[in-house]
Chains A and B, each alone.
Chain A
């Protein structure tokens, strides 16, 4: 079954670090554009970061310099390393895949994981 499964969330103090994982099944993360999208409690969705099939990475201004997205092709997993965490980073973090066709990414998300909750609090 094609799916994404996130893990690694939890309770962390401000200033701390956490690494989220997104394990993919039945497709290769190395051939797809993979993003992290977060949703603070009771709020809307916020795109966080993307890694392109070619390896380029991009970040929202709110996390630039603090978060790093990368992947391990052998484990078919995408990661989000989160450093210098702030209270406002508290959210459910979703992993999402860009839809694609033969020419490449179609830029909208066709597959989402169920998310992992990150709570930043003292």
Chain B
């Protein structure tokens, strides 16, 4: 199975500052037939289910603010929040779906 590891486990950032979360898979998640990265990001606020933010590593889901962006390819990926807002406090999960489906352990984002 593909193992997905996120870093850091948690971080505290001041409002308006940039947030960077990393996600690393043990194998490439690029599907050769379409050259797409089978990686998604979800946001989970306290007491709520996860919500899809990004898919194909860098495609923003409809309605997601453009301060959220995804990048990377192969085995290394990044979720960036360009300017942290209070409503962005949450746990962020990455998930690969190139081979079954596995999630990272999650990254908790708090306000400093």
Chain A residues packing against B (C-beta within 8 Å) = 35, 43-47, 50, 58, 60-61, 94, 99, 106-110, 112-115
The CA-CA distance from A43 to B55 in the complex, in Å, is 22
If the complex has contacts A108-B40, A113-B49, A114-B49, are A45 and B95 also in contact, measured as CB distance less than 8 A?
A: yes
Per-position binary interface string of chain B over residues 38-63, scored 1 when its CB falls under 8 Å from any chain A CB and 0 otherwise: 10101000001111100100000100
CB distance from B22 to the nearest CB of A (A): 15
Cβ-closest chain B residue relative to A59: B100
> What residues of B have a CB within 8 angstroms of the CB of A44 in the complex?
93, 103-106
B63 to chain A, nearest CB (A): 11
CB A43 to nearest CB in B, in angstroms, measures 8
Question: Are B97's CB and A108's CB within 8 A?
Answer: yes
Size of the B side of the interface (Cβ < 8 Å), in residues, is 21
Q: Are A112 and B49 in contact (CB under 8 A)?
A: yes
Would you call A45 and B97 a contact (CB within 8 A)? no
* Across-interface contacts of B40 in A (CB, < 8 A): 108-109
Contacts of A94 in B (CB 8 A): 49-50
Given A58-B100, A94-B49, decide whether A108 and B55 contact each other with a Cβ distance below 8 A: yes
In the complex, what residues of B have CB within 8 A of residue A109's CB? 40, 42, 50, 52, 95
| Chain A nearest CB, measured from B11 CB (Å) | 16
A35 and B104 alpha carbons, distance in the complex (Å): 17
CA distance A99 to B55 in the complex (A): 10
A45 adjacent to B50 (CB under 8 Å) = yes
B95 neighbours in A (Cβ, 8 Å): 45, 108-109
